[in-house]
Every structure is written in structure tokens, then in C-alpha cells.
Structure 1
Amino acid sequence: MSNNHRTIVIRRPRRAHAAHHGGAWKIALADFMTALMALFLVLWILSTATPSELQGLAEYFRTPLKVALANGDRNSASTSAIPGGGADPAHSDGEQARIDLKRQSRPAEDRARLMELRRRMETVIQEDPALRNVREQMRFEMTQDGLRVQLMDTDRQPMFELGSDRVSPAMRKLLRTLAPLLNDVPNRLSISGHTDSLRYARGDSGYSNWELSSDRANASRRELVAGGLDGSKLLRVTGMGDRVPVPGSNPGDAVNRRITLVVLSDSAARRLQAGSRSDVSDLPSQRVPD
């Protein structure tokens, strides 16, 4: 055998099992599922929100980031060195118009202010022994137009003399107590008078429920002003006669003899001032959840 014989060695690679990749994919999946759950939760909350709440939410997210970080409104969120922006800094369709809109109350802020006003009214009435017994004659409702306060008549304790606009002592004290509270908010005010269906002998040809409801609304206005209400806050004083009875009541019931005060939201006040067809209404169908 030759000493130059070479041994052939065959090397076969070993098949190694794939390395274990750990649990990173589980963390990624958990993050994805958490984000998906949060998305569905937000969608569910939005589906149950009222139109006014949705509008307030939209207004919140319209606030520029730099204004939010500065903890309040600024005259301008623009980076322009020219105040007001545009060719004419004071031009109404430039940035100045957006500044004026920003100074108006957001719907959510307006609603919170009216809810606080309602709480203060109820507290003041409850703490006054002379007014505590008229609390059951008052109805508070948050509507699309603002806070509606209805002062109801009863046969046991009428707020006006029968067939007259002469205010009873209890009604006078109530209105003069509410006046300073109404002054504490910037919102404007609407007053309307209502009567029951009992007609005068001459019907509508003479002094009628139309005049009586108007006179009672104006008598209430005078008592509020005497109590300290700023007269410029009033936007409308009107009489509705017996045309808008309380739902579920008999038109002749005493509960229909009432004065309705509407502390107007900013949007309702603007509609009323502009004479919009979408006017402020006393109809109960406009009630929204508290």
C-alpha cells in the first residue's frame, strides 16, 4: 500500500432546529388589541353622546396646540408678524374674525355655566324659608336654547291675582331673589307669559289672554329689573296666551298659568338677535338630558 494514499472525509452539515424567537409577538399583539379596544370604546361613547356634547367636543379639538399649551386663549395663534393676518389686519374675513369667534363661549362651557346657575338658584331658594314653599312651583330644564325656568301658578298659591298682572308677594320676592343670580352670568334672557284657557267674556275682541300673558311677562320683567337685573340682558318679552299648554295637562289647569324664563345659550341669543327662522322656542320638545 502506498504511503501517498489520501483518506477522503465527507462532512455533512447538521440540521439545527430553528432558534426560539421569544414572546415579542405576544407583546405586539397585546398592544394592538388594547388600541383596538380603546378605539371601540371611543366610538361607543360618541354614539351615546348628545348633539350638544358632540359640538362641545369638536370645539375642544379645534383649539390650536400652542394656545392649549399656553394655558389659555391668545389674540392670535398665527406665526405671522402682522397682527390679525391678511392684507388688512383689521379685515373681518381675515384672522380677526377667528379671534372674535374664539372669544365666544364654547357650547360645553356655556352648558356648564348654566348648570351651575341652576344649582345656585335651587340652593338659594332652598335656604330661604320664605321661598322654600314655592320650590315645588318651579321647573328647571336644560334645552337646546339654554336653561329654561318655569314659574308655575297653583290655586293654593297663585303668582298673580286672578285675571290680572298684579304680582303676588311670593312671586315678587322670588323674582327679585333670582335677579342678582341672572346678573352673574353673561347670558341673555327671554321672558314669556302663559295663561290657562279660561277666556274673558268678550273673547278675543277685547282684553284677552294675549294681553294678559304679555302684561304678566312685562310685570315679571319689571320685578327682575327692580331686583337688580341689568335691563340690557333682556332680548325678548312676549305673551303666548293659552297656545302652549304644559304637556299632559288640561288647558284649563292652573299649571298653565306660568312665566317662562330662558337663560339663553350664546348660539340661541345670536339666532334671536339675527331674527333667524330657527327661533328660540318655549316648546318642551327641545329638552336635552342634564
Structure 2
Amino acid sequence: MAADAKAPIIVKRKKIIQGGHHGGAWKVAYADFVTAMMAFFLLMWLLGATNEKQRKGIADYFNPSIPINKVSGGGDGAFGGDSVFTEVALANSGTGAALLAPGLETQNGTSDLESEEGGGEASFDDVQAALSGRGGESLVSDLLARHIISEISDEGLIVELFATPDAPLFQAEAPTPLLTALLEATAEAARLVRNEIAIEVHVAAGGLDPWSLSVIRSDGVRSTLVGAGLPSARFQRITGFGAGQPVMRDPGAPRNERVEVILLRHRL
């Protein structure tokens, strides 16, 4: 009977694992993604919450382009300390970017862009901020602001005052109340700095003598600015361009009627 006994049947079951073990690599990649997004949104917040000077200071903190010696850029609060762009906080071998003409100083050690009222250093950015309200309260109302464009060029800060179809700047040769208000606001902002001033007047085509008209108007603009408190000695030139440099395709468009008050850069 022992010979007739059957051997036991042994069944082996093999466990098959699909895909294998991935480890924690995905967690590292996800953490890198979250960190990058946080840095991106922080950057977006900084761009919206700071002005141009503060952004320059932040950029130079991470990538210094000016040699610094014996001076710390820290302050009591956020953006409250002296940055490397402050003239008095630089090494002797460096020049500052807070001023449009770095290194220019008067005999008493103050900048040529120092406020005439003794309020400390000011720059073209401060003038633009005063006109646009970026630094707080604007010198112009919303109604006047639609007639102002400012930009910084190689020549200096250009403050352009322009007419619209329903709001001219001149009545014949005389400034309208609108232009007078615009020039008074421009004069108040220009008192923040000591730069010389140039005046350029453009007229729309269609007048009898655009050249003579633009020259007469430019002198009227100068007189209005002087009456608003700007010293006559600051005016370097006044120019009438006639209708020769239109900004619109239609030479007779009211937008071509404009006044440019230029705060000139200091010459070395």
C-alpha cells in the first residue's frame, strides 16, 4: 500500500508586483515646484509694492555693482536704510545712481539736485512721482493727469502737456486755464530739483503762421512758469517748432498741440 500512496502536491504561488517601488523622488520635485511658485509670487508682490528706487536697491543687494566700504545698507524698517545708491554712503571709488549726474556736488557737499527748499536730495523719479501720485498725493487732479506724459530721456526728464479735441491748451496765443493749471503743477514739481529747463512748443497744422505762433506761445509758457515760482535763471532755452514735428498722422489733429517742459541733465 505504501507503493500506491501518491506524493503530496505542492503549489507555489508567486506574488507579482506591478511597477516596482518609486521612492520619494516625486516629493522632491513637488517641493521644488512649490518653492519656485512661492518665489515667483513674492517677486510679483515686490514689483507691485515698491517704487523704482527701492527695486534698484533690492537688485543691487543681491548683485552689487558698486564697491562699498565701511557702510552698511541696513535700516530700521523695510527699505528704511541707506541704499548703495545714496551718494553719501558710497566708497570713494564708486559713483551713485540716485542722481542723474553722479559725483556732482556743490562746495558744501550737497547735491546739485538738492531741493531748493532744503528738503534733501531729489531725482527725476521724485518729480515723476509728484506728478503721477506714485509717492503719495499727486500734484494734479485726475482731470489734469490725462493731459500729462513724462519720460526720462538722454536729454533729461520730459514733461509733455498735450491738448485733446475737447480741451485745447491755447486760445489763440494765450494759455487756457487748463494749461495754466498744468504749468503750475509742473512748476511745483520742478522745484524739487535744480536742473536747468528747456521749453518746446508744437502746434497743429492749419494756422496762418505756425512758426511765429509756436514761438509766441513758448514765451507765454515761460512767463507762466516764472509766475508760478520758477527762477528765470533756470531757463536755458525756449523753442517754437511750428507744426513740423506732429505726433499724429493728421498734421491738423489737436493732439499735435503740445508743450514740452524738459528738466535738463547736468553737464559734466
What interval of TM-score do these two structures reach, taking the shorter chain for normalisation? 0.5 to 0.7
Do 1:196 and 1:245's aligned partners in 2 also have CA atoms closer than 8 Å? yes
Structure 1 residues 227 and 250, CA gap change in structure 2 (3 angstroms) = same
Do 2:149 and 2:160's aligned partners in 1 also have CA atoms closer than 8 Å? yes
Do 1:191 and 1:260's aligned partners in 2 also have CA atoms closer than 8 Å? yes
> 2: CA distance between counterparts of 1:173 and 1:102?
35
1:96-111 aligned at under 5 Å gives the runs: 102-104=103-105
> 2: CA distance between counterparts of 1:126 and 1:249?
32
| Sequence identity percentage | 24
Match of 1:141 among 133, 146, 151: 151
The equivalent residue for 1:257 is: 257
> 2: CA distance between counterparts of 1:216 and 1:63?
48
The equivalent residue for 1:150 is: 160
Shift of residue 126, structure 1, vs aligned partner: 4.9
Q: Does 1:233 align with 2:243?
A: no
Do 1:126 and 1:135's aligned partners in 2 also have CA atoms closer than 8 Å? no
Q: CA RMSD in A?
A: 3.5
Q: Deviations over 1:226-276 (max 9, x none)?
A: 111122111111101111111x4321111111111111122xxx38xxxxx
SS of the equivalent of 1:192 reads strand
Q: Deviations over 1:199-220 (max 9, x none)?
A: 41xxxxxxx2111111111111
The equivalent residue for 2:221 is: 220
Amino acid at match of 2:233: S
User: Following superposition, which runs of at least 4 residues in structure 1 exceed 4 angstroms of deviation?
Assistant: 60-66, 71-74, 104-107, 124-128
Do 1:125 and 1:132's aligned partners in 2 also have CA atoms closer than 8 Å? no
Q: Deviations over 1:66-92 (max 9, x none)?
A: 8x79x9659xx69xxxxxxxxxxxxxx
SS of the equivalent of 2:174 reads coil
The equivalent residue for 1:165 is: 173
The equivalent residue for 2:190 is: 182
Name stretches of at least 5 consecutive residues in structure 2 with no aligned partner. Answer: 1-55, 73-81, 94-101, 106-110, 114-121
Amino acid at match of 1:179: A
> 1: CA distance between counterparts of 2:176 and 2:137?
17
Name stretches of at least 5 consecutive residues in structure 1 with no aligned partner. Answer: 1-52, 79-100, 201-207, 272-290
Moved more, 177-186 or 257-266: 177-186
1:78-93 aligned at under 5 Å gives the runs: none
| TM-score in terms of structure 1 length | 0.50
The equivalent residue for 1:114 is: 124
The equivalent residue for 1:281 is: none
- Which structure has more RCO (C-alpha within 8 Å, separation ≥ 6)? 1
SS of the equivalent of 1:102 reads coil
Do 2:130 and 2:138's aligned partners in 1 also have CA atoms closer than 8 Å? no
> 1: CA distance between counterparts of 2:67 and 2:88?
9
Q: Deviations over 1:112-132 (max 9, x none)?
A: 81012101012288565xx42
> 2: CA distance between counterparts of 1:167 and 1:141?
23
Shift of residue 190, structure 1, vs aligned partner: 0.8
Q: How many residues align?
A: 171
